[in-house]
Structure formats: C-alpha cells, structure tokens
C-alpha cells in the first residue's frame, strides 16, 4: 500500500505543507485559483463555470475535514458530468509529452519510471526501442499495454541492475514521490554512464507563471491544483487508491542544483509552460546527463 503524506507538515525539502483551506489566506492566490479554475471549466465546456467555481472555493475555504471537501466536490463534478469529460480532453496528453521528450531520448533500453497509464512508454516502443514500465501503483490501463510492467516500492532499490538503461524517464513523478533523493539516485544507478535521465516537473518561481504571484504564492497555487486534480477529481474513498501527494515542488533553479548534487549534469532545460489545460501546473523539462 502506498504511504500517504497528506497530513505531514513539511515536504521533503523542508517547505511548509499548509492545509488546503490555509492556501486561501493569501488573497492573490485565491484570485488566481478562481481565474484558473474558471478557465479549466470553460475549457471543459461547463456552461455555469463561474457558479461551480464559487461552490468549490466556498467548500475549500470552509470545510470541517478536507476529506469532506474532496468527496463533496467530486460528487458535484460527477453529477455535472465534468469528471467524465476530462479523459476525453486529456486524450492527446501522452502524444504531447512524447513530442516534448522525443528529441532527447538516447539508445535502445528505456525505463519509464513512474509510468502511470503507460501510454508514453507505448509511443516510445513504437519507435523500435525496448521500454520497461515501472510504478509504485498499478494503473487500470496497464493491462492494455503490451510492455513489461514492474512494481516498485516508494522506498528502497529498484529491481534493475546497475548501468542497464540508456534513458530513464521520470515524468511528473518527483513531486509525487515521498523521497525524491532516493528516486533520482536509483534512476542514476540503473542508467548507463553518459546515458540520460529526462525529467518533467511541475514547478514554481517562474516569471511567466503569473504576474501577480510571488514565488511562495505560486507554490501555494501548485499545491491547491495538485491536490484538486489528484484528490478531488480523482477522488477515492479507499486509502490504497488515493494518489500520493507529498507536494515536493521546487523551483527550476533548485531542481538543477538538486540534480547536480546527485551526479547529473543538466544539459538542457525547457519551459513547457501550462501545456495541459485541464491541469493548470507550469511544467519544465530537464535533460540530464549521467556522470559516473
């Protein structure tokens, strides 16, 4: 069963994890959430987007228990058929991410660490590469993908030998993992010398994120939307099906220093921006060269 971190007070980098309702103590963040969430709902063709956002914000600010907010808003989104529209709008997500990483993949042996539904790995295997999927959670779609899938643990060694893979993908995984140091150290161990690790992360502290939010306010907005997408939209009453949200966000500068500390050279960074309209998180792509 996945270890859940939602009640922890600090993330892996020592930053405070506030309660969701505390995020609204910053009025700039509240305004930003209202604006972005309205845009997401309009993109999902919700006709009364403003009223729905009003209900979400009231519930997020005044819940007694966060679990009640998650459940109530999830039910509202189900009744209004909003939840059901998201997979349709997300249909080209894997293709978009594949196009982003394609120029940076090296060699034949590829590990997709934290593969989720495995669709990105599937597109890479169609290029003639050998792809291994690995995750701490078995996504319901994995059985539809004809690639080897390996269960891994939140903590501990990956079940692969040293220097096996030419390229390891860590795509929007680090902020979901309990121990990003262990994930990146293990990703490096199983990747060849001069091989690549490709990371996509949800970041904050970017000028073009929003002209009204400072660095900390952007972090709070990330926290709200990461929780909203993973715990409200993808709500589950079963503990083992709840998505791990330890909110391990960093700025691009801090990620670069982090990668370099653990023996990786960042040879390229790309600002992908808000590239997925249903999940309003700002993404960066980091191409890392393994140095051993």
Binds ligand SAM (CB under 6 A): choice among 210, 244, 266, 276: 244
**Burial (CB count <10 Å: 0-12, 13-18, 19+), residue 180:** buried
Q: Which of residues 82-121 bind ligand SAM (CB under 6 A)?
A: 97, 113-116, 120
Beta pairing class for 130-135 and 149-151: parallel
In the complex with ligand SAM, which residue's Cβ is closer, 177 or 210?
A: 177
Q: Cα(first)–Cα(last) distance of the chain, in Å?
A: 34
Instruction: Count residues binding ligand SAM (CB under 6 A).
Output: 18
Binds ligand SAM (CB under 6 A): choice among 101, 183, 213, 217: 183
Q: Which stretch binds ligand SAM (CB under 6 A): 49-57, 73-81, 172-180, 263-271?
A: 172-180
> Cα separation of 121 and 115, whole Å?
7
Tokens standing for 230? 């993973």
- For residue 232, state whether it binds ligand SAM (rule: CB under 6 A): no
Least spacing, CB of residue 176 vs ligand SAM, in Å: 4
Binds ligand SAM (CB under 6 A): choice among 26, 83, 167, 172: 172
Least spacing, CB of residue 82 vs ligand SAM, in Å: 20
Binds ligand SAM (CB under 6 A): choice among 152, 218, 266, 284: 152
> Cα separation of 107 and 268, whole Å?
18
Q: Three-state DSSP class for 7?
A: coil
Q: What would the DSSP string read from start to end of 168-223?
A: EEEES-GGGSS-HHHHHHHHHHHEEEEEEEEEEEEE---GGG-TT--HHHHHHHHH
Q: Which stretch binds ligand SAM (CB under 6 A): 25-33, 41-49, 69-77, 171-179?
A: 171-179
- For residue 173, state whether it binds ligand SAM (rule: CB under 6 A): yes
Q: Tell me the torsion sign for CA atoms 113, 118, 124, 127.
A: positive
Q: Which of residues 130-149 bind ligand SAM (CB under 6 A)?
A: 135-137
Q: Which stretch binds ligand SAM (CB under 6 A): 37-45, 129-137, 187-195, 258-266?
A: 129-137
Smallest Cα–Cα separation from 286: which of 275, 71, 260? Answer: 260
Q: Which residue is nearest to ligand SAM (CB)?
A: 116
Binds ligand SAM (CB under 6 A): choice among 109, 177, 218, 222: 177
In the complex with ligand SAM, which residue's Cβ is closer, 173 or 287?
A: 173
What does the radius of gyration of the chain's CA atoms come to, in whole angstroms?
Answer: 19
Binds ligand SAM (CB under 6 A): choice among 171, 213, 223, 287: 171
Q: In DSSP terms, which residues pair with 109 in a beta bridge?
A: 130
> Cα separation of 1 and 245, whole Å?
14
In the complex with ligand SAM, which residue's Cβ is closer, 56 or 170?
A: 170
Least spacing, CB of residue 16 vs ligand SAM, in Å: 21
**Burial (CB count <10 Å: 0-12, 13-18, 19+), residue 33:** buried
Chain residues that interact with ligand SAM, rule: CB under 6 A: 97, 113-116, 120, 135-137, 152, 154, 171-173, 176-177, 183, 244
């Amino acid at each position: 069963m996945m270890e859940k971190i939602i009640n922890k007070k600090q993330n892996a980098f020592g930053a405070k994890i506030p309660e969701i309702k505390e995020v609204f103590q910053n009025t700039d963040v509240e305004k930003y959430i209202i604006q972005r969430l309205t845009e997401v709902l309009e993109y999902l063709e919700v006709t009364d987007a403003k009223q729905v956002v009003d209900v979400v914000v009231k519930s997020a600010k005044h819940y007694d228990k966060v679990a009640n907010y998650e459940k109530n808003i999830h039910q509202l989104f189900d009744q209004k058929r909003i939840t059901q529209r998201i997979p349709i709008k997300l249909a080209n997500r894997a293709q978009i991410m594949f196009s982003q990483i394609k120029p940076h993949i090296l060699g034949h042996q590829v590990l997709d660490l934290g593969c989720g539904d495995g669709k990105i790995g599937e597109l890479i295997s169609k290029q003639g590469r050998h792809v291994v999927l690995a995750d701490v959670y078995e996504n319901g779609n994995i059985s539809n993908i004809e690639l080897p899938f390996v269960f891994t643990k939140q903590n501990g060694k990956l079940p692969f030998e040293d220097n096996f893979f030419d390229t390891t993908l860590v795509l929007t995984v680090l902020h979901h993992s309990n121990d990003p140091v262990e994930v990146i150290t293990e990703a490096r161990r199983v990747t060849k010398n001069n091989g690549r690790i490709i990371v996509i992360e949800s970041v904050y502290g970017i000028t073009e994120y929003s002209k009204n939010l400072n660095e900390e306010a952007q972090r709070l907005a990330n926290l709200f939307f990461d929780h909203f997408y993973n715990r409200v939209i993808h709500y589950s009453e079963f503990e083992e099906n709840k998505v791990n949200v330890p909110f391990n966000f960093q700025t691009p500068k801090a990620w670069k220093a982090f990668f370099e500390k653990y023996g990786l050279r960042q040879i390229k960074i790309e600002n992908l921006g808000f590239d997925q309209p249903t999940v309003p998180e700002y993404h960066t792509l980091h191409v890392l060269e393994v140095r051993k």
